[in-house]
Amino acid sequence: MEPVDEPARDVPPEARDAILAWYDATGRLLAFRSTADPYAVLVSELMAQQTQAARAAEAWTAWMARWPTVASLAAAPVADVLRAWRGLGYNRRALNLHRAAQAIVAEHGGVVPSTVAELERLPGVGPYTARAVAAIAFRVPVGAVDTNVRRVLGRIAAGGPEAYPGGSMQALADATVPRDRPDAWTHALMDLGARLCRPARPRCADCPAIAWCRYAAGERATPVPGSVPARRPVPAFPTTTRWLRGRILDQARVAEDGEWIPFRESIGDHGTGAVREAVVALSREGLLDARETPGGMEARLPR
């Protein structure tokens, strides 16, 4: 029996150079890419998670004008922070960013820490965000791995991210980072994944790495257990708890400071029981103050 070739475990330096040259020539001009200030980078990275880059950039500009420093955000009322987050989704990120700012002031003298380990200890900062901030703000040569990066590097090196279980993708990402340009490389991979190396119908003909990409050459990785999470059916958005939580928070946002809003009726397809459960959960997470009254649940933004 002929031996089966193992998939390549690296990205050729020539591919990396071609991607950087492509980014230098065509990279998106997003507002938050104009700075390497660690606090500004932290804000942008938390905003851009699961949010369109253009929308995040617009919100980031307004945010930085209002709270230009870690200390100013740490001192802001939680209600103001949650109101400013409107439209970005995943509202827990706003609360985590506020808590991270408070931790930076209390534990780091108001200076954003520079190591991945210290960044990961901040509220709401996971492995990806910690590495993105370290690479962009402090030029630490580490790879920030999200869905886009996993797809780009996996396709180039092995025909797909399915070849990389566990921490092997992180090892590939770290080994690929150019030591002199980790900041530009991080942005370049994000752009490549968002614009060309898309999940469906990738634009391989326009990709700067096509000459070195196994996926573009027609190869497909053999899935390895644990490499890529199984896809789950996506329910209609208005039927999800996330949609309901967003509607509840939006009602609280438009209220006057300290005003209690009654939540005693159905919202969309969600009955009163589901509404009550969502209010209680939001209160438990610190996103709302809630109380029981003779007429039912009432809630307001935290004060």
140-176 tens-digit pLDDT: 999 999 999 999 999 999 999 999 988 899 999 999 9
Taking only the tens place, the pLDDT of each residue in 114-139 is 999 999 999 999 999 999 999 999 99
Residue 4 forms part of a structural domain? no
Q: How far is CA 61 from CA 44, 182, 224, in A?
A: 9, 24, 42
Residues 210 and 282 in one domain: no
- The answer to which of 138-152, 206-220, 255-269 has the lowest mean pLDDT is 255-269
Residues 105 and 169 in one domain: no
Residues 43 and 134 in one domain: yes
Looking at residue 276, which CATH number applies to its domain? Answer: 1.10.10
Residues 250 and 287 in one domain: yes
- Active-site pick, 2, 6, 14, 45: 45
Mutual orientation of helices 272-284 and 241-253 as an angle, nearest 10°?
70
Q: Where are the beta strands (DSSP E) in 133-174?
A: none
Q: Which residue has the tokens 């997003």?
A: 30
Residues 97 and 172 in one domain: no
- Position 7 scores a pLDDT of 44
Task: Enumerate residues 6+ apart whose C-beta is below 8 A from 217.
Answer: 159
Residue 95 forms part of a structural domain? yes
Which pTM was predicted? Answer: 0.85
Phi (first) and psi of residue 291, to 5 degrees: -150, 150
Looking at residue 214, which CATH number applies to its domain? Answer: 1.10.1670.10
Task: Look up 256 and say whether it is catalytic.
Answer: no
**What gap in Å lies between CA 43 and CA 67, rounded to an integer?**
10
Residues 126 and 69 in one domain: yes
Q: Show the domain range for 117.
A: 37-138
**What gap in Å lies between CA 135 and CA 143, rounded to an integer?**
7
Per-residue pLDDT at 255 exceeds 90: no
Q: pLDDT averaged over the chain?
A: 90
Q: Which two tokens stand for residue 211?
A: 């000459």
Residue 14 forms part of a structural domain? no
Number of domains the chain is built from: 3
Distance, C-alpha 60 to centroid of its chain: 14
Q: Which residue has the tokens 């869905």?
A: 147
Residue 5 forms part of a structural domain? no
Distance, C-alpha 280 to centroid of its chain: 26
